[in-house]
Amino acid sequence: MLMRRINPAIAGLWLAASGVCHAQTPAAPAAPATVSLPVPVMSGPLALSPVPPAIDAGPLGTFYVDGAFTALGLAQTNAVGGDRAAAADASNAQVFIQKIDGLVRVYAQLGAYALPALGQTYAHAADTTDAWEHQFGPVPQAFVKIAPSDAISIQAGKLPSLLGAEYTFTFENVNIVRGLLCTQGPSVSRGVQANYITGALAFSLSLNDGFYAGRYNWLSGSASWTIDPANLLVFAAGANMGRTATNTLVTPRAQNNSAVYNLIYTYTKGDWMLSPYLQVTEVPANPRIGIAHGAATYGAAVLGTYAFAKNFSLGARVEYETSSARGQLDRTNLLFGPGSSAASFTLTPTYMHDHWFVRADLAAVALTHAAHGDAFGRDGNATTQLRGLLEAGYIF
């Protein structure tokens, strides 16, 4: 699931037709090339085409083009103020362009997208993609990568975060909506990242701007161990090494001045994928930038999928997260009020045929010790929320 830290090479080549050609009998056509593209990462069950369209750019090399065009409908109970009980949206209208070999490699992701998360107000794709409100803009990820060898590479630009066990966009994950733990870590950061692979071990180190703050004071890293083809273990950590006073929707002040730690195990074999992980975040007190008291979160989650048949699978996610600093009005709020806790459960049946798919999310969130005004519902006092989503689309 976290193999974004290891960039695989081309997985196959053109295959020649075999056999003897008889008179007036044309040779069988060559099989199309199958290519393993390193990004965007897909944790399943959705998958991009193994035969993406290729563009021969002459001396510049071969560029591959793929994309995701999806729409969703949402219904929920206890919508928070400013949100709606139901919504419909284009969750993705994106194209991905990349060059994956040679010394200089590039990746660009272009288009519109929605970034739904459990317990959060739903923002439509048109608002999420707005480049003028401190968002990621219509080019949410793009970078240049210098790879002098298969073992060593350096990349710079708008990078996917090394932290967390879920990715940024709906089509990349087991579930349509990202979980509770995801909101405590960055999704996309601008910066530079170095990668090194030796045998079963892979390491990455990044200097970046954390929660898209525009100040390059975050240091993030990951170390992964591919124990065998079925088992992967990853430790990832990142922290703001300075202080940043910025406070926006994409750059929340408390989280952007935090440290994040992940321990992630993934088992993949046959029809099963199972990935339990732990997460701890810490926010130190810093009154100079408006953080009067320190706080922390402690979370655990399990993600999984099971393929019942060639085209049908069931995904699930269970989470629990709790926060410290309960009991005072000026305490730092990292969840649904200082010292609050949240649990979630999500089921996602998925049907995919060729490039087309349809799937549904059935999700529930329950809160404890939520602060008045910081929970669900119009007055912020409801402690449960149920969500149903249906997403369908075309990926290639």
| pLDDT tens digits along 329-375 | 568 899 999 999 999 999 999 999 999 999 999 999 999 999 999 99
Give domain status of residue 164, yes or no. yes
pTM, whole model, 2 decimals?
0.89
Give domain status of residue 197, yes or no. yes
**Where would I find the H helices in the chain?**
125-128, 253-256
* Helix, strand, coil abundance in the chain, percent, nearest 5: 5, 50, 45
Q: Which segments in the chain show pLDDT lower than 50?
A: 1-31, 131-132
- Which pair of structure tokens corresponds to residue 91? 């969750």
Question: Which pLDDT value is given to residue 327?
Answer: 55
Tally of CA atoms within 13 A in the half-sphere of 377 that contains its CB: 13
> Please, are residues 312 and 294 in contact by the beta-carbon 8 Å criterion?
no
Question: In angstroms, rounded to a whole number, what is the distance separating the alpha carbons of residues 74 and 296?
Answer: 31
Question: In angstroms, rounded to a whole number, what is the distance separating the alpha carbons of residues 179 and 319?
Answer: 8
Question: Which pLDDT value is given to residue 233?
Answer: 98
Q: Residue 252 is part of a domain; what is its CATH number?
A: 2.40.160.10
Domain range holding 147? 43-395
Give domain status of residue 255, yes or no. yes
Question: Which pLDDT value is given to residue 134?
Answer: 53
> Which segments within 231-271 are labelled E, that is strand?
231-240, 259-269
Tally of CA atoms within 13 A in the half-sphere of 80 that contains its CB: 17
Give domain status of residue 6, yes or no. no
- Burial level of 171, CB count in 10 A (0-12/13-18/19+)? buried
Give domain status of residue 28, yes or no. no
Query: How many domains does the structure of the chain reveal?
Result: 1
Give domain status of residue 151, yes or no. yes
- Burial level of 310, CB count in 10 A (0-12/13-18/19+)? exposed
> Please, are residues 87 and 79 in contact by the beta-carbon 8 Å criterion?
no
Question: Which pLDDT value is given to residue 329?
Answer: 57
SS3 3: helix
Q: To which residue do tokens 């006092």 refer?
A: 381
Question: In angstroms, rounded to a whole number, what is the distance separating the alpha carbons of residues 93 and 102?
Answer: 29
Question: Which pLDDT value is given to residue 21?
Answer: 31
CA–CA distances in Å: residue 240 to residues 190, 196, 253, 318: 14, 23, 11, 29
Residues 6+ apart with CB under 8 A from 190: 157, 158, 159, 208, 209, 212, 214, 216
> Please, are residues 35 and 4 in contact by the beta-carbon 8 Å criterion?
no
Give domain status of residue 142, yes or no. yes
Kindly state the DSSP code that residue 4 receives in the 8-state scheme.
G
Closest by CA position to 299, among listed 260, 250, 257: 260
**DSSP codes of every residue in 344-371:** EEEEEEEEEETTEEEEEEEEEEEEESPP
Question: In angstroms, rounded to a whole number, what is the distance separating the alpha carbons of residues 251 and 270?
Answer: 40
Question: In angstroms, rounded to a whole number, what is the distance separating the alpha carbons of residues 326 and 329?
Answer: 9
Give domain status of residue 30, yes or no. no
